[in-house]
Structure 1
């Protein structure tokens, strides 16, 4: 079976730390895949907020996640912290890719926990139609 392979960009423009909560842990005793997706959402919201945006307010348009791919690399456990890095790349007329690198500290070094990519599409909720990526937003997202 073919596996997802995510090629991360060389540079990440934003990083944040997210604690692992007890509610993130599944019956296997580690963080569940659904919680990893939630951590991506949290990292994306913090990335956008850092730039003065939100998913509903990006220079006059909103964002919709069109797709997601996650490559799991290591377990996470309750009490650990995730270092989530985010980069925006591959801009098109109506969207772009967000790449995520999730890591944790182990004995003073970073260990890769997961890589991910979300396809983000600009959307106008008033007209219920796809919208162009605002030039200023593209510039700020890539800075």
Structure 2
């Protein structure tokens, strides 16, 4: 079976640190794959907050995750400090990919590359909506 390949943007716009907790570990005592999903979710929320936005209000629209891909590259253990870099990539009419590179800061080793496909959503109308031009501008994506 072919491995998931996750492409990264040319630049990252945000970075945060996360200390791996014992509750993030699985039976093999390394970072659980489910915990990584939670860490990526937190990174997306912190990224949006750094822009003055929330998942529920991005220029009047919400953001919904439509897909998730994680390419695990190495293990991580309790007390490791992870650096999560976040960037935006591959815009289309309704959304984009939010990309993450997670690195073990002590070892300078990539733990995983990941991406979340997202769409913008009008919660009042229960419909997907076009990417707000102001969001594209905020993250440095030029209008075509």
Question: For this structure pair, what is the TM-score category when the shorter chain's length is used for normalisation?
Answer: over 0.9
CA contact (8 A) 1:71 1:115 kept: yes
Say what the alpha-carbon RMSD is for the aligned residues. Answer: 1.1
Deviation (angstroms), 1:102: 0.1
- Between stretches 5-14 and 25-34, larger displacement belongs to 5-14
Structure 1, unmatched stretches of 5+, are none
What is the TM-score when the length of structure 1 is the normalising length? 0.94
CA contact (8 A) 2:81 2:106 kept: no
1:119-142, CA deviations, whole angstroms, 9 ceiling, x for partnerless residues?
A: 000001111000111101111123
- Between stretches 95-104 and 8-17, larger displacement belongs to 8-17
The equivalent residue for 1:132 is: 130
Q: 4+ runs of 1 displaced by more than 6 Å?
A: none
The equivalent residue for 2:120 is: 122
Structure 2, unmatched stretches of 5+, are none
SS in structure 2 at match of 1:136: helix
1:32-76, CA deviations, whole angstroms, 9 ceiling, x for partnerless residues?
A: 000111111011011000000111010000000000000001111
The equivalent residue for 2:73 is: 73
The equivalent residue for 1:112 is: 110
SS in structure 2 at match of 1:92: coil
Q: Structure 2 CA distance, aligned partners of 1:42 and 1:98?
A: 12
SS in structure 2 at match of 1:23: helix
SS in structure 2 at match of 1:86: strand
What is the TM-score when the length of structure 2 is the normalising length? 0.94
Q: Structure 2 CA distance, aligned partners of 1:23 and 1:116?
A: 21
Q: Are 1:58 and 2:40 counterparts? A: no
Deviation (angstroms), 1:90: 1.1
Deviation (angstroms), 1:29: 0.3
Corresponding pairs, count: 141
SS in structure 2 at match of 1:99: strand
